[in-house]
Structure 1
Amino acid sequence: MKKLLLVLSLGLAVLTGCNDKGANTPPPLITDPVLPPVTEEFSPGETVTITGSGFTASDEIWLRMPTKADGDIQATIVKQTPTEITFTVPQGLPEGECTLVLKRGGTEMVLGKVAIGESVPAAAARLYGLGDHGVYEIDRQTYALTPILGDADFDFSSSNVYDASKNTIYSIEWYEEYENIPDTESKLSSGIVVKSWLGTLDLNTNTFNRVPLKDDIDYFACLIDGSLHLLAVPLTDDDHIRLYSVDPATGTQTEVIDFGSWATAFGVSSDTYDIAVYSTPCLVSGRLLMAFSLYGADSHENRFAAFDLNAKTMIPGNTIPFGSDDTEGNVCFFERQGETYTAVVSQNGTSIDSPFNTHFLTFDPENLAAGETVYTLDNAGCFDPQYDPVTDRIYWADYWEQSGTEASGDYTTGTDLYTFDFATRKAEKSFTWDEMIWTLVLAR
């Protein structure tokens, strides 16, 4: 009898241990995941779609190599909904099966395996220059400019996006117009109104169409789930930042998200503070990354920020390094091989004529903070960098004016083409044009 009781007790202990273990197992991040069959191979650069229930905007997809020494490699997510997620297979992966891991915060879930095929040489991306008097296709070997749009009075900003599905570039144009308006109607200088347009450059037909947008608003273009959107930052007494979908043919805007007051998010009063936007939005893991200059009568700080598309909130980030309180600057973001980088441009001095310096840094999109400095380029700016995964390089235009005065008419203008090679960690001036090129767009 004692022996039987002992067996029963041991059995109960085993069952109890199993139940305790099950109780400590965290719930799955998603349910009903469906992956492509392992018989289907995906080459680097191709996209993979996973379906399921419960995906969130903060989810990340990582590829785990057969040997842990190879580490996990993060994939770039190109589309995400609550029921599916699509990512691009990173470059440089070996052929064979690897494990897909879904990560959310500090938790991860193994989804299954995917077959990686042979790398297929990618087609060379086309490089375009948006200039003061025209739009040009740029020869990637000789850097010769071929006009594809005639001479016109363009006012391109650095807010440009390329839509590969339509082979189209969308661009924001703006300029300041003087009008007789009271100070109370605008926070801008008396009599200045900011006019904006949305430009559509169809690269299939080399035609351009421009439609007007609302006055006194800074607009920034971005693609979300393959559709054109505008992030709108009012320059008047309205301090709410909003996201709109937009019809490129008419400029008609439909509000998608009101992110609320930037003054409230930063903990200041909009009566005593203003903001200037120093970057175009970069979509990473469901967040639009941005950079702001927040300034009041006695204070000035440059901060990273993000707009969370899932939580519909604005999130202030860390202070931007290398920034100066009383000089101009710019901040850009780009992705490379599943990692995010930022280019911080600041003036090397306190004078408006001081030269620019550029700092390339790694960036943590979760904590909105800059990391290690990858490279520092003295006496040159970097505006709207274009990353090419085929060459593993960044391309950008740095325009300039020199000699003489504008009043005397003997000043000269031009643009330097810069490249940064990640393999050599070296930046160099590759070419100089006589034309004023505001920004580059890489069509890939």
Structure 2
Amino acid sequence: MTAPTHPRTSDELIRAEEPVLAHNYHPLPVVVARAEGAWVEDVEGRRYLDMLAGYSALNFGHRHPALVEAAHRQLDRLTLTSRAFHNDRLAGFAERLAALTGQDMVLPMNTGAEAVESGIKLARKWAYDVKGVPADRATIVVAADNFHGRTTTIVSFSTDETARSGFGPFTPGFRIVPYNDLAALEAAVDETTAAVLIEPIQGEAGVLIPDDGYLAGVREVTRRAGCLFVADEIQSGLGRTGRTLAVEHEGVVPDVVLLGKALGGGIVPVSAVVGRREVLGVLHPGEHGSTFGGNPLAAAVGTAVVELLETGAFQRRAAELGEVLRDGLAALVGRGVVGFRSRGLWAGVDVDPALGTGRAVSERLMREGILAKDTHGSTIRLAPPLTITADELTSALASLEKVLVSGA
């Protein structure tokens, strides 16, 4: 096939994807070519305010100068050694990330799903080596409506049939309980339980925020049962909710925290398992690994991300602008919005089904220059970069009002 000799339009590029890309996504019909801060631009030069931020992967906006500089600087020196050798960036990254999260040790990986898979392996190994669970009998308690990734092991404990159907046989060893139900969780825990694995806020389910005291209750249940509390903070962590980690809203310290998305600054995939020394210390050479995990480029960018968070400025900004977001959505309840949940700069917005699906509302917002994305049914999620201004956020809310009230 001869390559086109002229720049292709958005429509042409979308059509060109159809025969050559697997159809595992259904993107909004916008083709982004450039971006900076909270704004993106398509191939025709139309500008859009990004209210999704790569599902929190772009917490610091597109092409944050400190992160781009860190990447450029490292690109000129060293990008990959594999873990067959040491590199000069990894120790500093691990030290600062452990300190930021209040943990002892770091297991560097690449994607969020890899962090979850690593957390599962780690919990099982700890259960056999430390807790004394008989071989191959370890169980992990998880919550219904979870989203932890899409590997075969992870979809084994999903309750989303779209994610599961056609991908069996499934991995055993998981017990699913309702989210935000401490009694059900406690009843599912027994002597075989290696860990309770939950999202402090369920993102894909519609930004579901548990009752006050739930996370503290999970911590107490796991402590009494002698099992691990593993918190998946891949979407909720690193400033999104107004704290470094969402569990901090209840003063909870899990045994293991899973991180990803924003840890790579929207530049490279970076994820990590951080936790107590007596948990991560069960791993020995050859038992787990990743060629790219902890590579120098990832470590350089990840360190720059940690530096941004160490000041607390982004956490404070998310908390302050979160009030603007919450107040703006509250004003729309009864005017196209039937309910919402928000914490920091993260919200799940339930639109009146009579006005259309979440997909239809997202498409109408796109035509107004706002990029958002649906979750399920008539729910959309809003998760703008933490660099967004109050004026930009207010403008996005005005566009949402226009779409809902006037049906634009």
Q: TM-score, normalised by structure 1?
A: 0.25
More strand per residue: 1 or 2?
Answer: 1
> Which structure has the bigger radius of gyration?
1
Q: TM-score, normalised by structure 2?
A: 0.27
